[in-house]
Structure 1
Amino acid sequence: MRHTLPLAPQFYVTAPQPCPYLEGRMERKLFTALHGDGAQRLNDKLSKQGFRRSQNVLYRPSCADCAACLSARIDVAAFKPSRSQRRTLNRNAGLERRATSPWATEEQYALFRTYLESRHATGGMADMDAFEFAAMVEETPIRTRVVEYADQETGELVAVCLTDMLDDGVSMVYSFFDPDRARDSLGTYIILDHVAIARENDLPHVYLGYWVPGSPKMDYKAAFSGLEVYVGGRWERMRDPESYDAQLHPLSNDPIAEQVAEIALPDGQPLRPVRG
């Protein structure tokens, strides 16, 4: 009988490039590939350590002299909607949720283009064509759903979220919505409904991606009660948002090799050295 050891993930680091959140800073990412039978377990394990998924890659910011990006999640048991969030739920009571397999449609892409042109016309996704959009949605080695929101009266698609199912929660990979319905606060509504999805499935967390102190475009995440952020290798309940800073000193961050050595893998898999 032949025995084989599980293939250990190989970690890499990207070259520095301009930070999309804080002007004048450079970002760098630590990443590894998601593939094979162990992809779901690896995604579950590393999501708890501040990693995010993009198609078949898991990544985490690993900047040389900045540690501003903090992975954020909502503790569902501790979450209570604010008065403003309750109004948002009421305004969107006429929407129908449809959870489907990760399959891209022309209707989704049309809404995606409208959203980008209104909100992120100069962002990194601005030139994404229909084939690249389909890859973003469909190239997933784990349990992923496309959660659509449609107007019950007209059937019009007004919002979409690409959502990963984790063993301890739901992870909102990417969401977009009709920018002409600004009064409805659809971005907030999608998060609120994902709290409901987590509760319906007895899952304790909703992963929101990264919260970045000092970045106005990320301020909305701090408005959710029960928010936790991943700091110094552990999750903590968010303090006063003003108490977090960008930690600019070059000695604030461990070297890449030390960061990789601290990553816990499923089933005690060994770590392989980081590659540039």
Structure 2
Amino acid sequence: MRHTNTIAPQFYVTAPQPCPYLEGRMERKLFTALQGDGAQRLNDSLSKQGFRRSQNVLYRPSCADCAACMSARINVAEHTPSKSQKRTLRRNARLERRATSPWATEDQYALFRRYLESRHAAGGMADMDAFEFASMVEETPIRTRVVEYVDRETGALVAVCLTDVLEDGVSMVYSFFDPDWQRNSLGTYIILDHVEIAREAELPHVYLGYWVPGSPKMGYKAGFSGLELHVGGRWEAMRDPSDYSAKAQPFHNDPISEQVASITLPDGEPLRR
């Protein structure tokens, strides 16, 4: 399905496919190309409206009868690590952060393969080869960094995060880590360190992707203080997680044409003319 307007960008909708987060549901995405001189500004603007980047595409869920997926970000000024998160920071004090340009390496790919085989052997990325991995890392038309975490004692690469730099924060596009370090809660540590990265850069937010009530895969995001969710077209401080429902709501979502028309472009104007 294609939806065009008198101005760029153009938006499209994917065909329904099984939802990776809620069993028995079908997912559908609204997406647009991210390219040209205005790519950075478009990414900045649409990230604030619940979109995520994957290579040169921006997307957000647009399911026919479900609105469970909500974009999540941490308000850095409102974040305070919990006691367990402080322990995670101490356990990983031996790690050194290294931020580099978006360039894939053999060490990164080897770590990526170990991570997938341990954690997501049946996932959609399980068959990704070295060339596809390089495309995931390197095909970016905006400001992107590869944040590596290296063990100071051994020099080993133990974690990596592909991170976009936005005008109002950093966006964690994809992260992976050494499965042998499972007890160190590296997934949590990478998020906590990105809060510090944003704080050092005086940026107000850390974008985490989507939080889905009822999905065990996404439950960990609710454990970060200062979490905000994009609900009903605006950001709100997260309430008690039990307040949010994953029930299918066939009459809740607006038609695709109305969703597209409500999107605001970088110049502050809606797509509808």
Offset at 1:269? 5.6
Distance in 1 (alpha carbons) for counterparts of 2:63 and 2:217: 20
> 1:117 maps to which residue?
117
Q: Does 1:11 align with 2:11?
A: yes
> 1:162 maps to which residue?
162
> 1:217 maps to which residue?
217
| Structure 2 stretches lacking a partner, 5+ long | 1-5
Q: Relative to structure 1, is the Cα distance of residues 270 and 216 closer, same or farther in structure 2, using a 3 angstrom cutoff?
A: closer
SS at match of 2:162: strand
Distance in 2 (alpha carbons) for counterparts of 1:118 and 1:47: 31
Q: Does 1:101 align with 2:124?
A: no
> 1:250 maps to which residue?
250
CA contact (8 A) 2:262 2:271 kept: no
SS at match of 2:213: coil
Distance in 2 (alpha carbons) for counterparts of 1:219 and 1:247: 16
Alignment of 1:44-193 (within 5 A): 44-193=44-193
Question: Match for 1:236: what amino acid?
Answer: E
Offset at 1:8? 1.3
Paired positions, count: 268
Listed one character per residue, the Cα deviations across residues 57-107 of structure 1 (whole Å, up to 9, x for unaligned) are 000000000000000000000000000000000000000000000000000
Distance in 1 (alpha carbons) for counterparts of 2:139 and 2:223: 32
Distance in 1 (alpha carbons) for counterparts of 2:257 and 2:170: 30
CA contact (8 A) 1:8 1:270 kept: no
Distance in 1 (alpha carbons) for counterparts of 2:233 and 2:102: 32
Identity percentage over the alignment?
83
CA contact (8 A) 1:98 1:148 kept: yes
Distance in 1 (alpha carbons) for counterparts of 2:22 and 2:152: 39
Listed one character per residue, the Cα deviations across residues 3-57 of structure 1 (whole Å, up to 9, x for unaligned) are xxx9610000000000000000000000000000000000000000000000000
Listed one character per residue, the Cα deviations across residues 211-256 of structure 1 (whole Å, up to 9, x for unaligned) are 0000001110000000000000000000110110124121011110
Question: Match for 2:259: what amino acid?
Answer: Q
CA contact (8 A) 2:34 2:56 kept: yes
TM-score (norm. length: structure 1):
0.95
> 2:3 maps to which residue?
none
Question: Is the deviation greater in 17-26 or in 248-257?
Answer: 248-257
Distance in 1 (alpha carbons) for counterparts of 2:93 and 2:102: 25
SS at match of 1:246: coil
| Structure 1 stretches lacking a partner, 5+ long | 1-5
Distance in 2 (alpha carbons) for counterparts of 1:268 and 1:196: 30
Distance in 1 (alpha carbons) for counterparts of 2:23 and 2:267: 40
Listed one character per residue, the Cα deviations across residues 90-128 of structure 1 (whole Å, up to 9, x for unaligned) are 000000000000000000000000000000000000000
Show structure 1 runs of 4+ deviating over 2 A.
Answer: 268-273
> 2:21 maps to which residue?
21
CA contact (8 A) 1:8 1:269 kept: no
SS at match of 1:208: strand
Alignment of 1:255-266 (within 5 A): 255-266=255-266
User: Cα RMSD (Å) of the superposition?
Assistant: 1.3
